[in-house]
Amino acid sequence: MTAEPADQATVAGPKPLVHGVASALSPLVRRIVANNPGHMTGPGTNTYLVGIDEIAVIDPGPADDAHLDAVAGCGGDRIRWILCTHTHIDHFPGVAGLRERTGAEVLAFDARDGLEIDRSLREGDKVEATEFVLRALHTPGHASNHLCFLVEQERMLFSGDHIMQGSTVVIRPPDGDMAAYLCQLERLKELRPRLRSIAPGHGHLITDPIAKVDEYLEHRAMRETQIEAVLQQGDATVDEIVGRLYPDLVEDLVPMAAGSVWAHLRKLRAEGRATSADDAQAGSWSAA
């Protein structure tokens, strides 16, 4: 039997992610995958428990009793904080149920989309537990209220949907912003000395964090070049560009691809590299 090629191993990950079961990623960090697999969520949303004596839960995921029971079962009243990376539907609706089970304090960038919080976390704010310090990084792009969390003791970044393993991050305007997103990817490279792994909102632990960030930046640069090339051949709408760049895309994913193309066009427009009568998704776009 031949060994798996390295890139294959990265895509497939070490072993399949099983929902409902806690797996230890390090002495301080455990992960439980929610049972909400799909095109947008990969194997499901990752809920992380950081700490042993005092626990911070990151992204409780959907309002699924079995999942929340599993999370609460791992920490009970030692769960002191519930943190949300952002207010998308696969990350936060479990907050209320987990709060009921644990009485923990709820922290996020802001109260939005139905999420109620006890305290707002901004860039540089810290959660200090006996065993670890968790620092918030404001990382708009996927969502304007997106936070990543760095646990220095583990040199581990909890990236939410800023970086995922195994699927592409969707940037959908107007809340999604490609220019901000790329800026926040570049910024992660500055963490290099303090970063050993990335624990994403979906998929496996990423153990080559800077290589992954570079891969993301290259992928976006390639898409941008392709979009500019289409415009150089003539005016086009977002849907026409999607048809050219993603000819075999699954129907369900077309709106996501359209969002990302539109996000790239808005960035190009802001940089004076594309024009449109307005920056609406439905409009016609031209090369500048």
Q: Which residues are near Zn ion by CB under 5 A?
A: 88, 161
Q: How far is the CB of 99 from Zn ion (least distance, A)?
A: 21
Q: How far is the CB of 66 from Zn ion (least distance, A)?
A: 22
Determine the Cα–Cα distance for residues 70 and 78; give it in Å rounded to an integer. 14
Is the Cβ of residue 51 or residue 259 nearer to Zn ion in the bound state?
Answer: 259
Is the Cβ of residue 188 or residue 256 nearer to Zn ion in the bound state?
Answer: 256
Question: Rg of the chain's alpha carbons, rounded to an integer?
Answer: 20
What lies within 8 Å, CB to CB, of 254 at 6+ separation is 242, 246
Is the Cβ of residue 161 or residue 175 nearer to Zn ion in the bound state?
Answer: 161
Q: How far is the CB of 162 from Zn ion (least distance, A)?
A: 9
Determine the Cα–Cα distance for residues 221 and 101; give it in Å rounded to an integer. 45
Question: What residues form DSSP beta bridges with 106?
Answer: 82
Is the Cβ of residue 75 or residue 200 nearer to Zn ion in the bound state?
Answer: 200
Q: How far is the CB of 92 from Zn ion (least distance, A)?
A: 10
**CB contact at 8 A, 119 and 81:** no
Determine the Cα–Cα distance for residues 162 and 188; give it in Å rounded to an integer. 10
Q: How far is the CB of 93 from Zn ion (least distance, A)?
A: 12
Is the Cβ of residue 80 or residue 88 nearer to Zn ion in the bound state?
Answer: 88
- CB-based closest residue to Zn ion: 88
Q: Which residues of 25-51 are buried (b: 16+ CB within 10 A; e: fewer)?
A: bbebbbbbbbbbeeebbbbbbbbbbbb
Is the Cβ of residue 78 or residue 172 nearer to Zn ion in the bound state?
Answer: 172
Q: How far is the CB of 278 from Zn ion (least distance, A)?
A: 26
Determine the Cα–Cα distance for residues 166 and 161; give it in Å rounded to an integer. 12
Burial of residue 153 (CB within 10 Å: 0-12, 13-18, 19+) is middle
